[in-house]
């Protein structure tokens, strides 16, 4: 089987590199060579896919269909955790197209020392090691159950970057400073350790997520004790960074009593149709831990409303079908008026000229982290740490 795999993966890896180049995800020949030379299947011996019944099932990555999936621009869930009532993915191999876009955005050059937050399967560390040499690559992850196998997989193809089991938010002080830091997990604010361990003039690329789907990748450059930059054009989201001894947030059942129904001029489903507004809404009053979802017609199973629910039991649903006058019906229950924060965000977004992600920036100082539109001195700015 090994000989068959050796014969099968190389043309698939080359085809993946060619596809990423033709799509515009790859422009640097050095990164294309790294994709073509790195056997992704080695890093994902276990892959799971979720069926329509929400159950997770293993994928045979050695089969022709499994190899086709591995060498495609697809995110692969590689580790699950038992949450009592269900299992959920806790580690994945990121979509290769997103991975190479991030690596190219990082503007890596020969001689750069790079810290990766979130070792995962080790595949990204493999690409970095091929490009820079493994002595320049450092990677951390929370669980030895992820780091140790990743180290073995890398060693099996002759690569030996420095991998450490540690809470990613701590970075890797003993090997700092780093010319580049890349995080393949999301954070609500930039950890101070990352900022301090980045070399002056260095770049940090990480996913800022204030809630589920509420954020994007931000590319920041260090200048003295300050980091500043903008969000990237194409949206992306990663699993939230994990810490030891975390407790899942308790969710109260949505309140049914005291329903308040009115109309709104703010379109429903911003988490899908206007992610900038959804991000801003978390800066304007949406409480931490908000979840979004859908209501479906019980007969047709077609979606009828978008919903948001907060941990305190507050709930809002907005009908997808507009009223005759072009507004939408919104019903809220519970102590927190959730849709009001979305309305404020939509209004600010309109007043600012309906900005896309690249007009939104982030400034990180030792005292604060501030989101702004167009420029740091803009009247449209909000603190992440307030």
pLDDT at 297 over 50: yes
Place of tokens 């560390």: 125
- Greater confidence, 278 or 143? 278
How confident is residue 3, by pLDDT bands cut at 50, 70 and 90? very low
> What confidence tens digit (pLDDT) does each residue in 257-295 have?
678 999 999 999 999 999 999 999 999 999 999 999 999
Average pLDDT over residues 316-328: 95
Average pLDDT over residues 244-251: 56
Question: What are the φ and ψ backbone dihedral angles of 5, each rounded to 5 degrees?
Answer: -65, -45
With CA atoms as reference, report the closest residue to 271 among 331, 212, 352, 341.
212
How confident is residue 363, by pLDDT bands cut at 50, 70 and 90? very high
> What confidence tens digit (pLDDT) does each residue in 330-345 have?
999 999 999 999 999 9
pLDDT at 178 over 70: yes
Contacts made by residues 294-297, CB under 8 angstroms, sequence distance 24+: none
The pTM (predicted TM-score) of the whole model is 0.90
pLDDT at 42 over 80: yes
| 8 A C-beta contact, residue 346 and residue 266 | yes
pLDDT at 249 over 70: no
Residue-level pLDDT at 248: 52
Single out the catalytic residue among 72, 91, 265, 329. Answer: 91
pLDDT at 81 over 80: no
| 8 A C-beta contact, residue 149 and residue 163 | no
> Which two three-digit tokens encode residue 383?
């603190």
User: Lowest-pLDDT range, 54-63, 274-283, 303-312, 324-333?
Assistant: 54-63
Buried b / exposed e over 23-59, threshold 16 CB at 10 Å, is eebbeeeebbebbbbbbbbbbbeebbeeeeeeeeeeb
pLDDT at 250 over 60: no
How confident is residue 84, by pLDDT bands cut at 50, 70 and 90? low
pLDDT at 251 over 80: no
How confident is residue 148, by pLDDT bands cut at 50, 70 and 90? very high
Across the chain, mean pLDDT equals 91
Residue-level pLDDT at 180: 98
pLDDT at 232 over 90: yes
Residue-level pLDDT at 1: 39
CA distance 132 to 124: 12
CA distance 20 to 376: 35
Q: Is 91 a catalytic residue?
A: yes
Average pLDDT over residues 117-133: 95
Residue-level pLDDT at 87: 77
CA distance 307 to 258: 17
């Amino acid at each position: 089987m090994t000989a068959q795999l050796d014969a099968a993966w190389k043309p698939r890896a080359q085809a993946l590199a060619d596809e990423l180049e033709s799509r515009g995800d790859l422009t640097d020949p050095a990164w294309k060579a790294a994709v073509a030379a790195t056997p992704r299947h080695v890093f994902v011996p276990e892959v799971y896919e979720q069926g329509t019944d929400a159950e997770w099932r293993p994928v045979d990555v050695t089969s022709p269909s499994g190899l086709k999936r591995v060498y495609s621009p697809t995110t692969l869930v590689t580790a699950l955790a038992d949450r009592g009532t269900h299992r959920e993915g806790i580690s994945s191999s990121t979509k290769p197209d997103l991975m190479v876009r991030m690596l190219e955005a990082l503007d890596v050059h020969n001689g750069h020392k790079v810290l990766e937050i979130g070792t995962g399967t080790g595949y990204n560390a493999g690409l970095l090691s091929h490009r820079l040499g493994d002595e320049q690559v450092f990677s951390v992850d929370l669980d030895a159950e992820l780091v140790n196998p990743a180290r073995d997989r890398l060693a099996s193809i002759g690569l030996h970057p420095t991998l450490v089991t540690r809470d990613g938010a701590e970075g890797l002080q003993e090997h700092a400073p780093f010319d580049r830091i890349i995080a393949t997990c999301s954070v609500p604010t930039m950890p101070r350790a990352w900022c301090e361990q980045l070399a002056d003039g260095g770049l940090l690329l990480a996913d800022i997520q204030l809630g589920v789907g509420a954020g994007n990748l931000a590319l920041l450059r260090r200048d003295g004790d300050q980091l500043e930059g903008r969000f990237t054009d194409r949206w992306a989201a990663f699993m939230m960074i994990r810490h030891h001894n975390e407790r899942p947030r308790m969710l109260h059942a949505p309140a049914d009593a005291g329903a308040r129904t009115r109309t709104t001029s703010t379109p429903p489903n911003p988490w899908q149709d206007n992610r900038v507004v959804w991000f801003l809404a978390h800066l304007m009053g949406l409480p931490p831990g908000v979840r979004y979802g859908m209501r479906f017609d019980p007969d047709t199973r077609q979606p009828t409303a978008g919903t948001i629910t907060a941990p305190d039991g507050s709930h809002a649903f907005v009908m997808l079908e507009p009223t005759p006058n072009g507004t939408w019906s919104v019903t809220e229950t519970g102590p927190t008026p959730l849709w009001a924060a979305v309305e404020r965000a939509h209004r600010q977004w309109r007043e600012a000229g309906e900005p896309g992600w690249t007009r939104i920036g982030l400034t990180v100082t030792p005292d604060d982290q501030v989101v702004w539109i167009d420029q740091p001195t803009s009247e449209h700015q909000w603190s992440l740490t307030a």
